[in-house]
């Protein structure tokens, strides 16, 4: 529910998998595989916000999917922990961007052309999607901040679009890791079952809460995850 409501599910799921004694690489693979099932539930829960967004999604979902597959391949082919040192800072950057989003919009009203905005969105989304397929923790809050700054002022709508991008990102990553990664299937089944139910509820939670409450809650959770990962680099 936290994942589809704000994009920070891994604040709970990744540390929980580590606490069960699953090694870091296995916990990461298990987390990505399990959370890939959130896509359909998030779509059903966000029908109102996604109405008329089909053309936009058709344009950007392939980029998110390609980035997820690339990130999963990097995870399988590179030494474990290659991104460990920068992960906390990436998550913290996304959280701070979410906090600063209203001020960023105030400083940069309509001066940026649509073309420049789209180029910036494409580059940033591509990089975040690769990161999402590689590690995933915090990628949701990064995408949410990116959409709020570059595309959509309404938080429930931005959150719904974020869920679709994250779904497209995690599905190919999850398939690759399910086939070739060290997935712990018992934990993946339990986490996936919770993700199916929670992803259906999350969009309604975002819709009901005041914008500033959701924005600050998600950003605070993101910073908490960044601090936790920075304090425990071995995880």
22, containing H or E segment:
none
End-to-end CA distance of the chain: 24
pLDDT confidence of 109, banded at 50, 70, 90?
very low
- pLDDT category of residue 55 using cuts at 50, 70 and 90: very high
Neighbours of 109 (CB within 10 A): 7
Which pLDDT belongs to residue 216? Answer: 81
Write down the pLDDT at residue 155. 77
Q: What is the dihedral of CA 173, 174, 176, 180, to 10 degrees?
A: 130
pLDDT band of residue 105 (cuts 50, 70, 90) is low
Q: Helix 185-208 crosses helix 38-45 at what angle (to 10 degrees)?
A: 20
Give the three-class secondary structure for 114: helix
Mean pLDDT of 25-33: 87
| pLDDT for the residue 227 | 86
**Selected residue with higher pLDDT from 217 and 49:** 49
Q: Is 137 left (phi over 0), alpha (psi -120 to 50) or beta?
A: beta
In this structure, what token pair is assigned to residue 216? Answer: 């600050």
Give the whole-angstrom CA distance, residue 15 versus residue 227: 12
**Mean pLDDT across the chain, nearest whole number?**
81
- The number of residues in the chain equals 235
Q: Percentage of residues in the chain with pLDDT exceeding 90? A: 23
Can you tell me the distance from the alpha carbon of 171 to that of 168, in angstroms, rounded to the nearest whole number?
Answer: 6
Q: What does the pLDDT average to over 39-55?
A: 84
Range from 109-118, 119-128, 142-151, 202-211 that averages highest in pLDDT: 119-128
pLDDT category of residue 217 using cuts at 50, 70 and 90: confident
> Which residue is associated with the tokens 């397929």?
133
| Res. 85: pLDDT tops 90 | no
Question: Which pLDDT does position 235 carry in this prediction?
Answer: 44
């Amino acid at each position: 529910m936290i994942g589809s409501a704000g994009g920070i599910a891994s604040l709970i799921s990744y540390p929980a998998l580590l606490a069960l004694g699953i090694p870091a690489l296995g916990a990461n693979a298990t987390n990505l595989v399990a959370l890939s099932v959130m896509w359909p539930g998030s779509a059903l829960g966000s029908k109102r916000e996604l109405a008329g967004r089909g053309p936009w999604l058709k344009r950007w979902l392939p980029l998110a999917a390609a980035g997820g597959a690339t990130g999963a391949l990097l995870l399988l082919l590179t030494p474990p922990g290659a991104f460990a040192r920068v992960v906390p800072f990436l998550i913290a950057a996304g959280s701070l961007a979410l906090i600063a989003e209203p001020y960023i919009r105030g400083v940069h009203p309509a001066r940026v052309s649509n073309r420049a905005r789209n180029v910036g969105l494409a580059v940033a989304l591509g990089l975040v999607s690769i990161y999402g397929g590689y590690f995933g923790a915090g990628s949701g809050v990064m995408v949410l901040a990116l959409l709020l700054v570059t595309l959509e002022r309404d938080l429930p709508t931005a959150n719904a679009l974020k869920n679709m991008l994250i779904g497209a990102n995690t599905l190919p990553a999850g398939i690759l890791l399910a086939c070739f990664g060290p997935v712990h299937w018992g934990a993946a089944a339990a986490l996936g079952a919770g993700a199916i139910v929670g992803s259906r509820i999350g969009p309604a939670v975002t819709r009901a809460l005041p914008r500033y409450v959701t924005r600050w809650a998600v950003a605070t959770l993101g910073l908490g995850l960044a601090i936790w990962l920075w304090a425990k680099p071995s995880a």
